[in-house]
Amino acid sequence: MQRRVSSFIFPFGLIFTNILTGASPSPRRYDPLTTVRLRAESEPRIWKDLISSRVQNGTSQVRFDISTPWATLTTDALLKLDSPQVTLINASVFDWWYFDAVSDTNPGDSFVVTFFTSSATAFPFLDSGESSILIAYMWASFANGTVFSEFLPATFAIVAGGDGAAAPSLGNWSSAGFSWTAQKEDLSHYEINIASEKIQVEGRFTLSSGLTPHLPCGIQSETTDLEIAPHIGWASLTPDAVGTVDMNIQGSKLWFQGPAYHDKNWSDRPFIESVQSWYWGHGRLGPYSIVWFSYLALNDPTNTTYVSSYVAKDGHVLISSCNSSILTVRPFVTSETTSDRYPPRAGDIPGGFKLEFDLGGSNSWLIVNVLVDTLVAGDREYYMRWTGKMTGEILQVQSEKRQDACPATPSETRSVTGQSELTGVAVFEQFALLE
């Protein structure tokens, strides 16, 4: 049985006016009859979108691919990945910017902030009683077990940037007191600032990274697909970074450093019309930076598992792919959890996840166990986001010639050797929307 998810955490709405720097304001173009997929060539190099808090009537334009000549991301294309991917927020579409960090010494310390443009109809985990589509949401967890979450609606927002702009990427949910700024054109450094008397939170969160973005299937020749699965756009702008969180939260100090991350999700239709389940996460495991995404679409007659995998070692990218043979994600149980069923159903609470990454040519596999530590967000039924610890190892499958081989027996045997155990921390989540 399929069941509509009840609202429990988030809110949204919006209008866009595109203002070209040095020119008079001009609206983005909308097709009155169909949903048009935006292409980079038709977009200005510098943009400044003023977004109102109201749900809009009309048809949205949505970007699901981007121009990448010679399989490279130009500065213009890179910055467009961090821009709004949906031109008009009606009741059916959503678009958001997500940032997180977790302490590298204790995963109990974590911080997440998300800038939403969506209605609760499009993304039902927002507060259905909130009329604004502009929601600044934050979650913080402390090593002592305290978890804090709060959201603030904004009356309007500004999202601006582009090649040659004063700030390559910025977002300001101004009346909420939440903002982000990319301080370098290569998007290698972000700063998130919060100053809210209403929720008594003030501070700064920075991300610094030397890694290039990860897109669902990597960067492709000429045009790169931005759909992780049908109707679900995704771009991991910062697969791994050094994060520094310095926040005062209702009188409690939260300061730590550790792995940090930034991505975007968007869609041209409501979340629950697309998603059966998804597993997503990221973390740092010894010298390895990893990102995983495993997704099942609702009512898919092919039962396709859509995946995207990313592995970098010491800043060098080993995998950036959507090949389903490269990544397997499966839940496991512990004494305190309820289910390792796959595909997951609503209410299934895993103890963690086993990840298997095929590293390719050297017959190597990265095997990772991700163990739940702290539930940071969710309703324990349809959605959960955790922090936790990871352990892993590199396994190498080697072929060896047999000395006693004869024509009637195989001339090779296969052996598996392991590298010393790797350790790290992660942020990860599960949506399971079917009963």
3-class DSSP assignment, residue 41: helix
The CATH T-level fold of domain 16-432 is AttH-like fold (2.40.370)
CB 154 within 8 A of CB 139: no
Question: Rg of the chain over CA atoms, in angstroms?
Answer: 22
* Alpha helices (runs of H) in 54-143, residue ranges in sequence order: 75-81
Task: Note the pTM of the prediction, 2 decimals.
Answer: 0.88
Which residue, 106, 77, 383, is CA-closest to 226?
77
Q: Are strands 16-18 and 189-196 parallel, antiparallel or unpaired?
A: unpaired
CB 93 within 8 A of CB 86: yes
What is d(CA 264, CA 280) in angstroms, rounded to the nearest whole number? 13
Amino acid making up residue 432: A
What would the two tokens of residue 187 be? 């998007």
Instruction: Count the helix, strand and coil residues of the chain and give each as a percent rounded to the nearest 5.
Output: 5, 55, 45
Please give the C-alpha separations between residue 291 and each of 214, 294, 317, 354, in angstroms, as whole numbers: 9, 10, 12, 13
Instruction: Determine the length of the chain.
Output: 435
Per-residue pLDDT of the chain in tens (435 residues, 90 and over written 9): 333 333 334 333 333 333 222 332 333 332 332 244 444 445 568 889 999 999 999 999 999 999 999 899 999 999 999 999 999 999 999 999 999 999 999 999 999 999 999 999 999 999 999 999 999 999 999 999 999 999 999 999 999 999 888 899 999 999 999 999 999 999 999 999 999 999 999 999 999 999 999 999 999 999 999 999 999 999 999 999 999 999 999 999 999 999 999 999 999 999 999 999 999 999 999 999 999 999 999 999 999 999 999 999 999 999 999 999 999 999 999 988 888 999 999 999 999 999 999 998 767 999 999 999 999 999 999 999 999 999 999 998 775 555 555 544 444 444 566 667 999 999 999 999 999
pLDDT of residue 7: 34
CB 121 within 8 A of CB 111: no
What is d(CA 206, CA 208) in angstroms, rounded to the nearest whole number? 7
> Which residues fall within 8 angstroms of residue 361, CB to CB, at 6 or more apart?
none
Q: Residue 44: is the preceding peptide bond cis (ω within 30°)?
A: no
Which residue, 135, 133, 99, is CA-closest to 427?
99
CA atoms within 13 Å, Cβ hemisphere of 97: 26
Which residue, 282, 204, 279, 203, is CA-closest to 238?
282
Strand blocks (E) in 40-146? 46-52, 65-68, 94-102, 110-118, 134-141
119 secondary structure, DSSP code: -
Amino acid making up residue 372: V
Domain ranges of the chain: 16-432
Neighbours of 64 (CB within 10 A): 18
